[in-house]
Amino acid sequence: MPLTLTELPQPTQDAVAAARERVAALHAELPRNELVVWTAGNVSERVAATGPDVPGLFVIKPSGVSYDELAPENMVVCTLDGAKIDDGTPETLVPSSDTAAHAYVYEHMDEVGGVVHTHSTYATAWAARGQEIPCVLTMMGDEFGGPIPVGPFAVIGDDSIGRGIVETLRGSRSRAVLMQNHGPFTIGKDARDAVKAAVMCEEVARTVHISMQLGDPLPIEPAIIDALYDRYQNVYGQR
């Protein structure tokens, strides 16, 4: 029998409800920033732990549902093995086809609280070529701490995409990976952070592409990239 949401402690149920609200709202940012078409793309967020005996959970978009129809009540709740729990949604409402990839990331990267996948045009164009985006912009140094790497080719159906994401990003400061012939996945401390990374990934993919039409972009010295990254991650903004 699947895990039932109402059997979980009330703090967990409250955390799930809050995550559903955030994830549903954040999906609107994908079409707003022109990162998706039709029903493609997905946002997920890990549910905050509320006790040692509570299983790991995350909330994700249902598969093939129009963005106009997304609401907190139809966000799907899954365990970290990608299985949908009895969350109050109809049995016929299945989670995103990318759920296995999201689940693998959460299971193997404890620091990750949000995952986003899009097929944004410029980032996906780089992925189609299997080419990383070089760090030739200060905003790339700020946000990604270096180039945006390419992950291995993998197809939907099991956790192969998730393994490729984890293997690629574990050795990188980047919060974005271009899965070869597929598109970008981004991670963050929560879903909002991962959505921001997706927006920034597309922006730098577009800008660097345009720059390359004009000539050879000028590289930035690694020491300067390190300094940019440290300042942006530890000093910039309100604390």
Active-site residue identified among 81, 86, 142, 226:
142
Residue 197 lies in a domain: yes
Residue type, 16: V
Instruction: Look at residue 238 in the predicted model and tell me its pLDDT.
Output: 84
pTM score, whole prediction: 0.97
Is residue 46 one of the residues assigned to a domain? yes
Q: Which domain holds residue 139?
A: 5-234
**Assigned domain for 23 exists:** yes
DSSP state of 215: S
The pLDDT tens digits of the residues spanning 70-98 come to: 999 999 999 999 999 999 999 999 999 99
Q: Provide the pLDDT for residue 82.
A: 96
Q: Which residues of the chain have pLDDT under 70?
A: none
79 in any annotated domain? yes
In a domain, 74, yes or no: yes
- How far apart, in whole angstroms, are the C-alpha atoms of residue 117 and residue 179? 10
236 catalytic? Reply is yes
Q: For residue 78, what is the domain's CATH number?
A: 3.40.225.10
- Cα(237)–Cα(129) distance, integer angstroms: 35
Burial class (CB in 10 A: 0-12, 13-18, 19+), 97: middle
DSSP designation for 156: B
Tell me whether residue 22 is in a domain. yes
Q: What is the DSSP track for 107-151?
A: HH-TT--EEEE---HHHHHHHHHT--B---SHHHHHHHSS-BPEE
Residue 207: burial class (beta carbons within 10 Å; 0-12, 13-18, 19+): middle
Q: What is residue 217's predicted lDDT score, i.e. its pLDDT?
A: 98
Contacts of 163 (CB under 8 A, 6+ apart): 104, 154
Residue 82: CA atoms inside 13 Å, Cβ hemisphere, count?
15
How many folded domains does the chain comprise?
1
Q: For residue 163, is it within any domain?
A: yes
Three-state SS letters, 161-191: HHHHHHHHHCCCCCCEEEECCCEEEEEECCH
Domain membership flag for residue 158:
yes
**Contact between residue 87 and residue 8 where contact means Cβ atoms under 8 Å apart:** no
Instruction: Confirm if 43 and 59 have CB atoms less than 8 A apart.
Output: no
Nearest CA-CA partner of 98 in 53, 36, 160, 146: 160
Counting beta carbons within 10 angstroms of the beta carbon of residue 157, is it exposed (0 to 12), middle (13 to 18) or buried (19 or more)? exposed
CA distance 178 to 197: 12
Edge-to-edge strand list for the sheet holding 150-151: 76-79, 57-60, 42-46, 114-117, 183-188, 176-179, 150-151
